[in-house]
Amino acid sequence: MKTNPEKDTELHDKINRETGRIPWSELARHFASGSVIYVSEELDLIEVALRVAHDDKESITKWMAAGSLAKVSDLQAQTWTESDATLWASVVSPFVLVQPEKKQLH
């Protein structure tokens, strides 16, 4: 059965309520277990989480091929640790999706 993430407003709202900012240091144990996924700034974190929850293989494959969605690399983890970064995070078990804070334009 193919699901329809576009019409799942209930799950979208739940993900939106449960998404928040978190220091990278609090995600280190999840990174060590390989469950932290990077979401590029060009993508909408809530939309990605919704599609992961719906197992939308087509979108996930497209984003991974473009490098917009990937496991957090050792270099990213090291950079975030050194800069004491705060990231946006959304949990879609067993994954924690993270996205750097978008740069504000002045």
- Position 8 scores a pLDDT of 79
Distance in angstroms (rounded) separating the CA atoms of residues 11 and 9: 6
Which burial class, exposed, middle or buried, applies to 100 when counting CB atoms under 10 A from its CB (0-12, 13-18, 19+)? middle
Distance in angstroms (rounded) separating the CA atoms of residues 56 and 93: 15
Rounded to two decimals, the pTM is: 0.88
Which burial class, exposed, middle or buried, applies to 61 when counting CB atoms under 10 A from its CB (0-12, 13-18, 19+)? exposed
Reading the chain (106 residues) residue by residue, the pLDDT tens digits are 356 767 778 998 999 999 999 999 999 899 999 999 999 999 999 999 999 999 999 999 999 999 999 999 999 999 999 999 999 999 999 999 999 987 665 5
Provide the 3-class DSSP secondary structure of residue 86: strand
* Local structure of residue 35 (DSSP, 8 states): -
